[in-house]
A and B are shown apart, each in its own frame.
Chain A
Amino acid sequence: MIAAATGVFTTSDLRRAEVLDEAFVHPVAVRDGKTGRLMLMVPQQTIDFANELSSYTQLFARVVVECQRPDPSPVSLDRAGYIADWTVAQRQQFVREFAEALSASITEGNPDAIDAFLDYMAHATAPIPVHFHSSFINDERELLEAHMTNS
């Protein structure tokens, strides 16, 4: 997000390395020393993030709309198409958490939070591998029951 220029410089300041360094990272305002005209220089990464954010925001809007329907369209849900088969309660949780992750991305100025959220939740209805579920020790359950009874 472009909040505000972090500094105001003149065109002649652009010869200074530290001014350029700042302009590569933050938006800076540059004033023409002769005419007084002002322009805003914005780093490419800020533009890229703004575009990405716009895509995520549009996706969020589509998810909210689709989740109002009894039968959401995986096509409209695009990258979040995996929630089409989820229960209503699961989809409601997903919308709430999407909002939280999107908000974090906006605040931090990078897409990592929302990107990681969408990737991770794609696996949320996959079966848990047998080694990682308590049913793995079902055959030994009597050991635990005896322990719990005796301790």
Chain B
Amino acid sequence: MRLVRLRASSIRGLREIERTPNAEPWVAEVETFILDGGAASHRLEPRSSILLADDAGQVIGAAVHHPAAGLVGAQYLSAVLLDHRFRGQGLGKRLLRSVVDDARSSSGRPYVTWVVHPSNTAMIAVSRRLVHDHMELGVERNSGYLIFADP
């Protein structure tokens, strides 16, 4: 798997990602955000990135990160999406690891943080495997989203 920055000529790659049938609302939210242009404003912001995950020429996912507002040393991973046809194959952890590494290296910010919906058990498990216990920072008090940071 390799990550490529979304360029004007590669936006159509997002169309290769298939929406999850009968998706939970929090899954549909992420898909709409990334696939329908909710993340498009990041294309006009040089410190933000939209990434395509490419596996053997097939776009299998996408992710977005941008500077964490008010936190000089942190980049915020605002969305990670793995096409539902490729879930359950261990690709989620590789994708998250790659995106976290990209967020750190491309921004020059040492810390990467993200939140996970409390019902997203797969992403919670992947996040817990990726980071050490002390990097699961807590829970967003209004929504119950879990907050992670790396390192």
Q: Which residues of A contact B (CB under 8 A)?
A: 90, 93, 96-98, 100-101, 103-104, 112-113, 115-117, 119-129, 131-141, 143-145, 147-148, 151
Given A134-B69, A138-B69, A147-B134, 5 extra CB contacts under 8 A: A104-B8, A112-B12, A134-B68, A136-B115, A137-B113
B43 touches A121 (CB 8 A): yes
Which A residues are in CB contact (< 8 Å) with B115? 136-137
Contacts of A126 in B (CB 8 A): 37-38, 40-41
- Separation of A98 and B43 alpha carbons in the complex (Å): 13
Known: A135-B69, A139-B140, A143-B137. A123 touches B12 (CB 8 A): no
Count of chain B residues with a beta carbon within 8 Å of a chain A beta carbon:
46
Task: Give Cα A11 to B33, complex, Å.
Answer: 54
Which of the residues B29, B64, B137 comes within 8 Å of A147, measured between beta carbons?
A: B137
Is B108 among interface residues, defined by CB-CB distance under 8 A? no
A140: min CB distance to chain B, Å: 6
Chain B contact residues, majority secondary structure = mixed
Q: Is the pair B12, A144 in contact by a Cβ cutoff of 8 Å?
A: no
Decide: A137 and B111 in contact? CB cutoff 8 A.
no
Known A-B contacts A129-B29, A134-B78, A144-B71; A93 and B40 likewise in contact (beta carbons under 8 Å): no
Given A140-B141, A143-B147 in contact, is the A97-B8 Cβ separation under 8 Å? yes
In chain B, residues 1-34, which have Cβ atoms closer than 8 Å to a Cβ of chain A? 7-12, 14-15, 29, 33
Is B73 an interface residue, CB under 8 A from the partner?
yes
Q: Which of A97, A116, A144 has the most CB of B within 10 A?
A: A144
Q: How far is the CA of A126 from the CA of B32 in the complex (A)?
A: 13
Which residues of the partner chain B approach A140 to less than 8 Å between Cβ atoms? Answer: 137-138, 140-141, 147
Is B53 part of the binding interface, using a Cβ–Cβ cutoff of 8 Å?
A: no
Q: Point out the residue from A103, A115, A141 that lies within 8 Å of B70, measured CB to CB.
A: A141
Q: How far is the CB of A40 from chain B (nearest CB, A)?
A: 30
Which residues in B have their C-beta under 8 angstroms from that of A101?
A: 8-9, 11
Contact bitstring B105-134, A, C-beta under 8 A = 1, else 0: 000000101010000000000000000001
